[in-house]
């Protein structure tokens, strides 16, 4: 082989990654990077500032520590409110989502128009953050637990109905056909063929949404919608940082404990 020929074959040897893909990946990489730098600039996120911040961390520790955990007794009523709000909201959402998720499952609701309308509404429902809903309901109903509960119900309804309608869409349709063929009506068919198939997942999803609701209901108080968040908000406004940290740690413990229990129960069910 002459040198020329070798050169030729070497340029022809295919690169491991096709050139076009390589080019595309590089372009995407730089776009993402550029957008990131731009975002950082716009949000004034800079490493130096963060390092300054880390310096402040020492200060922060001094401010926040030692957390005042002795206020547990004082805040227990508000904490109980928080849990109770989540329980009521999850229960209500669990009940209300049943008709909605049937309507949003295309194997039960064969009417395309109705199905699409319900899906569309559920999707919109899920885009509105719970705290924003809480702001509006506090304005409507006044400060207290009720607006918080309603906000949680509406928010979790969208999520729950979506999860459960997807479960319904995945069920085995054969038993439904058998029930229909034996003369059962629609309600009987749903009760005997759909319910047993979705019940375990339903319970699991309701518990999952309960976990989410606990976390959400903890912060609802920031906008006056009841629960522990209201106290946290006050303490921060009064610069009572050790108290605030105490509350945050208690909240943290609450979330961890409830998530642990809920996960165990869900594992046992499914």
Partner 1 sequence: MIEFKNVSLTYPNGTKGLKNVNLTINEGEFVVIVGLSGAGKSTLIRSINKLVTATEGELLVDNENILTHKGKRLRSLRTKVGMIFQNYNLVKRSNVFKNVLAGRLGHTGTLRSLFNLFSKEDRSLAYESLKRVNIEEKIYNRADELSGGQQQRVSIARVLTQKPKYILADEPVASLDPPTSHQVMTYLRKINQEDNITTVVNLHFIDMAMEYADRIIGMRAGEVVFDGPASEVSEKTFEEIYGRTIREGDLRGGTEA
Partner 2 sequence: MMHNLPPKPKRSTFKTVRNILIGVILAGIYIWTFMGIDIDFAKAVDRMTNNYARIIPKLLDPDWSALSDVWAAMVETIYIAFAGSLMAAILAIPLGFLAAQNMTNNRVLTTIGKWILSAIRAFPDIILAILFIVVVGPKPFAGVLAIAIGSTGMLGKLYSEVLESIDTNVVEAMEANGANKLQILVHGILPQITPEFLSYAIYRFEIDVRASTILGIVGAGGIGTLIVFAKMNRNWEEMGLILLMIIVVVTVIDLISTQIRKRLV
Pick what 182 binds: partner 2, partner 1, none; C-beta below 5 to 8 Å, kind-dependent: partner 1
Our CB check for partner 1 shows the closer of 189 and 213 to be 189
74 Cβ partners below 8 Å, 6+ apart?
Answer: none
Of the candidates 118, 86, 113, the one whose C-alpha atom is nearest the C-alpha of residue 102 is 118
Q: Quick check: 262 and 171 in contact, CB under 8 A?
A: no
Using a 10 angstrom Cβ sphere, with 0-12 exposed, 13-18 middle and 19 or more buried, the burial of residue 17 is exposed
Euclidean distance between CA atoms 86 and 73, whole angstroms = 20
Give min distance, CB of 57 to partner 2, in A: 6
Binding status of residue 31 toward partner 2 by CB under 8 A = no
Counting contacts by CB under 8 A, is residue 95 touching partner 1?
A: no
- Measured distance CA(86)–CA(258) in Å, rounded: 11
Which one among 23, 191, 252, 260 touches partner 1, defined by CB under 8 A? 191
Residue of 13, 44, 182, 270 interacting with partner 2 (CB under 8 A): 44
Q: Find the binding residues for partner 2 in span 127-156 (CB under 8 A).
A: 127-129, 131-132, 135-136, 139-142, 144-146, 149
Least Cβ distance, residue 256 to partner 2 (angstroms): 5
Sign of CA dihedral 72, 76, 82, 83: positive
Cα distance between residue 68 and residue 167, in whole Å: 45
Of 65-84, which residues contact partner 2 (CB under 8 A)?
Answer: 80-81, 83-84
Spatial distance between the Cα atoms of 225 and 180, rounded to a whole number of angstroms: 47
C-alpha 130 chain-centroid distance: 10
Strands in the chain per DSSP E: none
Both ends of the chain: CA-CA distance in Å? 67
Among 69, 184, 222, 254, indicate the residue that binds partner 1 (CB under 8 A): 184
Q: Is 196 in the site for partner 2 (CB under 8 A)?
A: no
Binding status of residue 164 toward partner 1 by CB under 8 A: no
The rounded radius of gyration (Å) of the Cα atoms in the chain is 27
Q: How far is CA 115 from CA 21, 81, 199, 234, in A?
A: 40, 37, 22, 45
Decide which of partner 2, partner 1, none touches 177; Cβ closer than 5 to 8 Å per partner kind: partner 1
Of 102 and 159, which has the nearer Cβ to partner 2? 159
Nearest to 209 by CA among 123, 83, 90, 81: 90
Please choose which of partner 1, partner 2, none residue 99 contacts, taking the beta carbon within 5 to 8 angstroms, the exact cut-off set by kind.
Answer: none
Residues 38-57, one symbol each (x = binds partner 1 by CB under 8 A, - = not), give --------------------
Instruction: Give the footprint of partner 1 on this chain (CB under 8 A).
Output: 172, 174-175, 177-185, 187-189, 191-193, 196-197, 199-200
Instruction: Give the footprint of partner 2 on this chain (CB under 8 A).
Output: 32, 35-36, 38-40, 42-46, 49-50, 52-54, 56-57, 60, 63-64, 80-81, 83-85, 87-88, 91, 123-124, 127-129, 131-132, 135-136, 139-142, 144-146, 149, 215-216, 218-219, 222-223, 232, 236, 241, 244, 248, 251-252, 255-256, 259
């Amino acid at each position: 082989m002459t040198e020329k020929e070798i050169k030729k074959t070497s340029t022809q040897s295919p690169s491991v990654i096709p050139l076009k893909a390589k080019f595309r990946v590089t372009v995407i990489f730089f776009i993402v990077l550029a957008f990131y730098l731009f975002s950082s600039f716009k949000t004034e996120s800079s490493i130096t500032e963060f390092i300054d911040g880390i310096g402040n961390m020492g200060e922060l520790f001094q401010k926040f520590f030692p957390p005042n955990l002795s206020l547990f007794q004082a805040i227990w009523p508000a904490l109980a409110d928080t849990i109770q709000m989540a329980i009521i909201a999850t229960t209500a959402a669990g009940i209300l989502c049943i008709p909605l998720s049937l309507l949003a499952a295309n194997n039960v609701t064969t009417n395309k128009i109705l199905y699409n309308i319900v899906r569309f509404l559920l999707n919109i429902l899920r885009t509105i953050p719970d705290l924003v809903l809480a702001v509006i309901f506090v304005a409507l109903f006044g400060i207290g637990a009720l607006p918080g509960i309603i906000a949680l119900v509406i928010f979790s309804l969208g999520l729950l109905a979506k999860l459960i309608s997807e479960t319904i869409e995945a069920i085995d349709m054969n038993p439904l056909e058998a029930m229909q063929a034996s003369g059962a009506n629609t309600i009987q068919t749903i009760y005997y063929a759909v319910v047993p198939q979705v019940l375990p997942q339903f319970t699991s999803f309701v518990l999952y949404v309960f976990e989410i609701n606990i976390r959400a209901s903890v912060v609802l108080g920031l906008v006056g919608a009841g629960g522990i968040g209201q106290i946290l908000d006050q303490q921060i406004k009064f610069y009572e940082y050790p108290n605030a940290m105490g509350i945050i740690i208690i909240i943290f413990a609450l979330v961890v404990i409830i998530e642990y229990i809920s996960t165990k129960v869900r594992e046992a069910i499914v």
